Amino acid sequence: MYVRLMANFKGTDLDVHPLCLGGNVFGWTADKPTSFAVLDAYAAAGGNFVDTADMYSAWVPGHQGGESETIIGEWIAARGNRADIVIATKAGKDEPMDEPHVRAKAEASLRRLQSDYIDLYYVHYDDENVPLEETLGVFDALVREGKIRHIALSNYSPPRLVEAMAVAKREGFAKPAAFQPHYNLVERGVFEDELQGIAQREEIGVVPYWALASGFLTGKYRSDGPAVDSARSETAAKYLDDRGRAVLSALDQVAAEHDTTVAAIALAWLAAQPTIVAPIASARTVEQLAGLLPMAEVELTDDQLKVLDEASAGS
């Protein structure tokens, strides 16, 4: 049986499972006991790469943000497995990415995670009002202080990503090891047009978010099926056009050929693309996770990749 090997961020010692477990649901649609169960099942399957952010789940009434980090920290403390888990978290969305704010946010994340280091620390959103030299400089200082192991960037435009990499090189800062864009079978253009080439040239490992298009690429949102009541159904429904239906049909075909889930095929397609280290997908139940994990056992043929590429052309 084919099993996808652990993936590596080039130039680092970070070896990660090919499925990055998204932590955005922890403390939101998955309570603490359920989150622990999902994390346990992921680890039992060989998973070691968990993605979160300091803002998760600030959008929930009564929440302040940091709920996901807190649950992950409590799980790691309970299991005693910090050295076995690669934690990626993010700083910044609605606050400046200057030195005082970044330091404060890093320290808060470390407290919630109950850890003295973060493996992969992202600039969550580019703050064009703060010089890149300052933002990347404080991230570099945190690396030198041992509080973060590797720098990462998320949601940067192509020109700003190029500029950030140039600034890091010119200033002698730690090189960003990872980049997190929005990329999946129904959202291809923005990444593939420019960002993919930059990632290849700069040798940045890519970790796509919304890898399943808010659940659309699991196949549960279909015009001929029952409506699905979930926190993401409205977002997913926007893809239910002719192209979206063609993508689902192609996924159905390939999933049947592998006797696996539609979600696993969508994730395997991403994993097969240049520069991709591990797509991010979240699961609010152990049963949902079970539909994602087979992606590590799927090796798509050239013909199957062509079927999926042609169905999703123009996305």
Q: Is residue 258 one of the residues assigned to a domain? A: yes
Distances (CA, A) of 150 to 47, 89, 100, 121, 175: 20, 11, 19, 6, 8
Can you give the CATH number for the domain in which 150 is found? 3.20.20.100
Catalytically active residues, by annotation: 56
Cβ–Cβ under 8 Å, residues 177 and 150: yes
Q: What is the pLDDT of residue 92?
A: 79
Q: Is residue 205 one of the residues assigned to a domain? A: yes
Distance of CA 95 to the CA centre of its chain: 21
The model's pTM is 0.95
Q: What is the pLDDT of residue 95?
A: 86
Q: What span, in angstroms and rounded, lies between the C-alpha atoms of 10 and 274?
A: 13
Q: Is residue 2 one of the residues assigned to a domain? A: no
Q: What is the pLDDT of residue 226?
A: 47
**If we measure between CA atoms, which residue out of 64, 63, 124 comes closest to residue 88?**
124
Q: pLDDT 10s digit of each residue in the chain, 315 long?
A: 788 888 999 999 999 999 999 999 999 999 999 999 999 999 999 999 999 999 999 899 999 999 999 999 999 999 999 999 999 999 977 789 999 999 999 999 999 999 999 999 999 999 999 999 999 999 999 999 999 999 999 999 999 999 999 999 999 999 999 999 999 999 999 999 999 999 999 999 999 999 999 999 999 888 655 455 555 667 778 899 999 999 999 999 999 999 999 999 999 999 999 999 999 999 999 999 999 999 999 999 999 999 999 999 966
Distances (CA, A) of 100 to 3, 139, 206: 44, 11, 28
Q: What span, in angstroms and rounded, lies between the C-alpha atoms of 140 and 142?
A: 5
Amino acid residing at 173: F
Question: What is the domain extent for residue 25?
Answer: 7-311
Q: What is the pLDDT of residue 224?
A: 52
Count of domains for the chain: 1
Q: Is residue 1 one of the residues assigned to a domain? A: no
**If we measure between CA atoms, which residue out of 300, 309, 283 comes closest to residue 42?**
283
Q: Is residue 280 one of the residues assigned to a domain? A: yes
Q: Is residue 186 one of the residues assigned to a domain? A: yes
Distances (CA, A) of 35 to 61, 131, 252: 19, 38, 29
Q: Is residue 211 one of the residues assigned to a domain? A: yes
Instruction: Identify the three-state secondary structure at position 84.
Output: helix
**If we measure between CA atoms, which residue out of 183, 182, 186 comes closest to residue 250?**
186
Q: Is residue 298 one of the residues assigned to a domain? A: yes
Q: What is the pLDDT of residue 3?
A: 80
